[in-house]
Amino acid sequence: MFWRWLFTLYVTVWVLHGTETFTVVTYNVENYFLEDFGTRKAKSEASRMKVVEFLEAIDADVIALQEMGRRAALTELRGRLKAKGLDYPHEAWVVGPDPAIHLAVLSRFPIAKNRSHKQVSYLLDRKRFQVSRGIGEVEVQVNSRYRFVLFNAHLKSKRPVGFADQAAMRLEEARALRRLVVKRLNANPDENLLVVGDLNDTPNTDPVKDLIGRRAPRLVDLRPVEHNGDQAPHPTNQSYGPRRVAWTHFYWAKDEYSRLDYQLASKGMARELDRSGTLVQAMADWGTASDHRPVVARFFANDR
């Protein structure tokens, strides 16, 4: 027993001191339910297997999930990953006002603090609302030298509701998240901070612009793209971003591909970005898993 404890301690110390880079993935896994919940159907075996195939290919150190069902669904997913050799001993779970879908974080590294917000309120048309899925906020201890704050979010969808304007709700949810981010960065402008998740809007919209910040402290949109061989710059204007594949979501009713999923970093953490390991994960039959694709970013595990 003593030697087993000593070996475990040695491995833990080695991991904390030896990690040179780490990878974070955000993934909306589209109704990861083991059983039907209201109008949401249980996720099929083929679909759950494809989610695991994606995550196995990415082999991330920290996984931020959106649209998880009940806690048992997260346990089931962790079990599937462990069977593939991917062990995530640390987790954070957020139960917001929405009883159906939830936010979760799985991590190989210790979660030093879990400050997730189950109830985040805002005013809209003189009425008080709650951010439907809550907001995840954890501090991840990557090694003895590097720690970062991870916000995990899933903002209001574009689906209309009868009691308020869906776009206005999403904007106020983004502003509520922004207030939490600003509070952390005002306390420490050099904070290593990452905001990830499904923002349900495109980069040119007010919710995304307000969250990134129209004034300091501003976040950096990491804009991961497919690693499909594209290298050419914009063909007519060098000041424009290159025409590379960055979409993360498909909406079948409009046959529309959009970038709705993001990794936004503080300036402190953006300095550690390893662009070579930052991408939108592409895979054959990706849509079997979800209507979203995973967004991956890799970082060097020391302050720069």
Which pLDDT score, from 0 to 100, does residue 143 have? 97
Report CA 195 to chain centroid distance, whole Å: 7
Is residue 243 situated within a structural domain?
no
Is residue 126 situated within a structural domain?
yes
Q: Is the pLDDT of residue 55 over 50?
A: yes
Which pLDDT score, from 0 to 100, does residue 179 have? 98
| Mean pLDDT along residues 186-197 | 98
Mean pLDDT, the chain, rounded, equals 94
Which pLDDT score, from 0 to 100, does residue 7 have? 46
Identify the domain containing residue 34 by its residue range.
Answer: 23-224+248-300
| Domains held by the chain: number | 1
Is residue 210 situated within a structural domain?
yes
Instruction: Write the DSSP string, 270-298.
Output: HTTEEEEEEEEPP-TTGGGT-SB--EEEE
Greater model confidence, 197 or 10: 197
Which pLDDT score, from 0 to 100, does residue 238 have? 86
Which pLDDT score, from 0 to 100, does residue 36 have? 97
Is residue 93 situated within a structural domain?
yes
Which pLDDT score, from 0 to 100, does residue 128 have? 97
Is residue 12 situated within a structural domain?
no
Query: What is the spatial distance between Cα 233 and Cα 238, in angstroms, rounded to a whole number?
Result: 7
Say which CATH number the domain at 49 has: 3.60.10.10
Is residue 232 situated within a structural domain?
no
Q: Is the pLDDT of residue 114 over 50?
A: yes
68 burial type by CB count under 10 A (0-12 exposed, 13-18 middle, 19+ buried): buried
Is residue 5 situated within a structural domain?
no
Q: Is the pLDDT of residue 4 over 70?
A: no
Query: What is the spatial distance between Cα 153 and Cα 133, in angstroms, rounded to a whole number?
Result: 8
Residue in 146, 148, 213 with CA at minimum distance from that of residue 174: 213
Is residue 213 situated within a structural domain?
yes
| Mean pLDDT along residues 179-184 | 98
Which pLDDT score, from 0 to 100, does residue 210 have? 98
Which pLDDT score, from 0 to 100, does residue 64 have? 99
pTM: 0.93
SS3 76: helix
Which pLDDT score, from 0 to 100, does residue 14 have? 47
Confidence of residue 303 (pLDDT cuts 50, 70, 90): very high
Q: Is the pLDDT of residue 123 over 80?
A: yes
